[in-house]
Amino acid sequence: MLKHRLLIDEQAIATRVEELARRIAQELPEPTPVLIGLLTGAFIFLGDLVRALGRLGIEPHVDLMSVSHYGPLVASSGLVQLHKDSALDLRGRTVLLVDDILDSGRTLSMVCAHLAAKDPSWLRTCVLLDKPSRRQVAIRADYVGFEVPDAWMIGYGLDAYGQGRALPYVAILDAPEQVSQEVEHHTQ
């Protein structure tokens, strides 16, 4: 297992997801929004958010998109690539884009522009983690779980080279450059 330090425990995450769901439910213009999660990091957060909204009488439609910008190093490549688009007709729909972390802002900005071109009537963003110190594109999420420091995070869906996603909490990865070197060594 990757060496890491606990940042946000399970209970704090569960409490915050419920709080976010209540706020989102109050602001939704209709009870059947489309929630679009960005794979792969947001899948656990998306699932918990969908269930929390369901407990409040909201019946979301769910879709997934896949984008990437992280290459072999633990730093953004700067290029955002769309691998899987939403299959739903979003014209005139209420859409909530859900992501695991807002870092540089490139991914959220690109996906928001892409979804806005599909002409939804309402488009908002929700992220579990926000790292404002790393922002390179001027964008803010409408709903934020936690503001976090500039460090590599794992757990609750976030990973480092496929490891750490299943942790039920969010943790700071110790020495991410070591993990990168180990992965490169094993793939050669």
CA distance 2 to 164: 7
- Token pair listed for 49: 């958010």
- Token pair listed for 70: 């992280």
- Token pair listed for 14: 């569960």
Residue 100 catalytic?
Answer: no
Residue written as token pair 């488009």: 123
Please tell me which residue in 103, 119, 150, 174 is annotated as part of the active site: 103
**Of 106, 102, 98, 97, the residue nearest 129 (C-alpha):** 102
- Which residues are tagged catalytic? 103
